[in-house]
Structure 1
Amino acid sequence: MQLTRRHALRLTGCAGVAAGLAACSPAPSRTASTGDSVAMQLGWIKNVQFAGEYLAIENGHYAAAGLTVDLLAGGAAGTSTEAGIDTGKVWVGTSTPQKVAAAIEQGVPVRVIGATLATSPACITSPESAPLRTPKDLVGKRVGVADHNLPTFEALLVANGVDPSAVKVIPVQFDPSPLVNGEVDAWSGFTTNEPVSLRAKGFPTYSFLYGDFGLRMCAQVFVVSEQTLSADRGRCKAFLTAEIKGWKDALADPDRGVALTVSKYGADQKLDTAHQRALLDATLPLIQTPDTLRDGLFTLSPSLIADTVTSLGRTGSGVTAAELFDTSVLSEVYAENPALR
């Protein structure tokens, strides 16, 4: 499967962002920071999936690292991490390997330096009363798929010997009501999202991960520019150190992470405490895996890097591991401070 321009635009999230990425030349990282203050673009709205960042602020970990971090909410048009870095509006951000790879192929000099989620939550969800357990079970079924996720969904099918034309794709947005209403038989989403919200509404589901069927990838990756890696390495290390401590705090005290989300950082969204706790409960096992327990949070094992690049290749991406990842900064952080593991 070749990466067509249409697929590239889907992977970046919107055509306007992709055009901006292609048109802008790299801007100095100093425009995204002033003194010890840096801008961080979040990959989504300020919900509990960024509890580690909130705790890094509240528990003084950024301050101890000599940083003041301005968290910028994502989720709206024009909030792409890659575009923000490319134009100098942000210094660091979180994103997905798909979006970073697409940006790199468009000439944007960015790298992944670690991953919050060692396991992607991408999944196929179906009603518990009529579970679809493998990609082959999707043959002849109606599956709700957001447009930007279509290349990855098609890659899942092809990787498992399923002709994409044998599955009826129904374009959807974010609301999984079509699954509840019987308008679709399955839903392409995330274990940290739709199954959580549907279970809270009394609709039990069954999910299987993309990663268990040939599309293993990391997720919620940290992204910086190549220039930052070379010219601002010390601050990269300080930032990652603070992030590790913040997420360790979230793992140790998830209730506080939830409380900060609901009462402060996501207060304008009127978030539900129980729902946010359920979302975090679904997220934490993707952060703390056997590999990260051994090597440290955010680390990327050689097998995970290889699988991520292979999975991206199934979507048509030609990006290499060396083009996408730079794990040297995180390796130095743990070498210099083994107690962080």
Structure 2
Amino acid sequence: MLKKLALSLAVAATLTSGAIAGSHSKKVPFALDWKFEGPSAAYFAAIDNGHFAAEGLDVEVSAGKGSLDAIPKVATGAFPIGFADINSLVKFLDQNPTAPVKAVMMVYDKPPFAVVGRASQGVSTVKDLEGKTLGAPPPDGAWAQFPAFAKANGLDMSKIKVEPVGFPTREPMLAEGNVDAITGFSFSSYLNLVRLGVPEDDIKVILMADNGLSLYGNAIIVNTEFAAANKELVTGFLRAVAKGWKDVIADPKMGAEAIAKRNPAMDVALEQRRLQLAIDANVVTDYTMANGMGKIDPARMEKAMVQIGENYEFKNQPSLDAIYTDEYLPTDGSLMLK
């Protein structure tokens, strides 16, 4: 993997230096973790409402294919900035300790990792999972946390049948009764099931963060070589992102409509609900209201890394400094949500 990274970085160096040399335009490709859905609204609001432009940035947002997707893109320099699950980043850096990628702004202070079941199929609580079939996409961020979740709740894994499923088939399989529960992001799986016609009172969301896990969720990540050469650019990017989030928190309908401009086939009302779920459960928390967006509590992250170690065998002792830095966060008050 490291050899591949080195080769990719050699190729990407030309792209990165080109981006720096042509900094008058300041084009910034940004890699999302997933499709253009409600929770991605803040980045499009930052474009449409002029926050990126005010920082001299021309940002192009690209969709992703899962929680792991953006990390190698940013590590290789194919994208200078991305959005990814910090728990996956911890493991990636353990396997590739010299990879130039690091988190610089926490967005999902409370992660959306969840198990979603159906009451009609006997899954309403954590313990109900025993004796049932769980559908889990192997690259899924929520599935990656399941061993620690199971341990925290005393689940007997020998009593749970795990069925590997694809992202596109995950919710349909639960809707059709082919599995009894699935792992996924709370706001995505819930509303995907609603769209498939599953009665809302039949959908049971078991949020891992409310059941024993101290983990953080998705963060803005950067290629550290790019960031070191473009510190003001990265800080401006983060400031614009924070303003975009504040815009959609204040007006979720506007946020959903911003996504619809890029994805005309989407259900605006449904994505507005998905965005609101993400805001209420993952972005606006007691911690972010008190401290603003972007920061990490070191004591909590230490506990989180212990729990990651219950899912994964570390090759090296994990270090917060190797995973996250607050050096690029703006200090002008723009991160505060109040």
Instruction: Tell me the amino acid that sits aligned with residue 216 of structure 2.
Output: C
Shift of 1:177: 2.1
Q: Partner amino acid for 1:109?
A: P
How far is the alpha carbon of 1:25 from its aligned partner? 4.2
Hey, what does 1:137 align to over in structure 2?
128
Is the Cα–Cα contact under 8 Å of residues 20 and 83 in structure 1 kept in the other structure? no
Report deviation, 1:88. 2.2
Q: Is residue 2:328 matched to residue 1:329?
A: yes
1:158 positional shift? 2.7
Partner residue of 2:89? 100
Offset, 1:282: 1.0
Query: Residues 246-325 of structure 1 correspond to what in structure 2 (within 5 A)?
Result: 246-262=244-260, 264-267=261-264, 270-285=265-280, 286-318=282-314, 319-325=318-324
TM-score by length of 2: 0.85
Gap change, CA 1:287 and 1:315, over 3 Å in 2: same
Segments ≥4 residues shifted beyond 6 Å: none
Going from structure 1 to structure 2, the CA distance change for 1:219 and 1:213 (only over 3 Å counts) comes to: same
2:139 aligned counterpart, secondary structure: helix
1:117 aligns with 2:114: no
Q: CA deviation at 1:317?
A: 5.0
- Pick aligned residue for 2:187 from 189, 192, 197: 192
- Is the 8 Å Cα contact of residues 135 and 156 (structure 1) preserved in structure 2? no
Question: Which of 18, 21, 40 in structure 2 is aligned with 1:50?
Answer: 40
C-alpha spacing 1:125/1:71, structure 2 compared with 1 (3 Å):
same
Residue aligning to 1:13: none
Cα distance per residue 1:276-297 (max 9 Å; x no partner): 1121111111111111111112
Counterparts of 1:80 and 1:30 in 2: how far apart (Å)?
Answer: 24
Aligned to 2:333: 338
Q: TM-score, normalised by structure 1?
A: 0.84
Post-superposition shift, 1:119? 1.0
Q: Give how far 1:274 is off.
A: 1.7
Matched, 1:69 2:62: no
The 1-side partners of 2:238 and 2:165 are apart by: 36
Distance 2:76 2:216 in 1: 26
Is the CA contact 2:38–2:273 (under 8 Å) kept in the aligned structure 1? no
- Counterpart CA distance in 1 for 2:268 and 2:162 is 34
> Could you tell me which amino acid in structure 2 is paired with residue 314 of structure 1?
E
User: What is the rounded CA distance, in whole Å, between the counterparts of 2:73 and 2:327 in structure 1?
Assistant: 23
Aligned twin of 2:238? 240
Q: Which residue of 1 aligns with 2:117?
A: 126
Deviation at 1:32, TM superposition (A): 5.5
SS of equivalent to 1:292 = helix
Structure 2 residue ranges without an equivalent (≥5): none
Task: Report if aligned partners of 1:146, 1:172 keep a CA contact under 8 Å in 2.
Answer: yes
Q: How many residues were matched structurally?
A: 317
Q: Which consecutive unaligned segments of at least 5 residues does structure 1 have?
A: 1-16
Amino acid at match of 1:84: K
Q: Helix, strand or coil for the counterpart of 2:102?
A: strand
Q: 1:213 aligns with which of 207, 211, 230?
A: 211
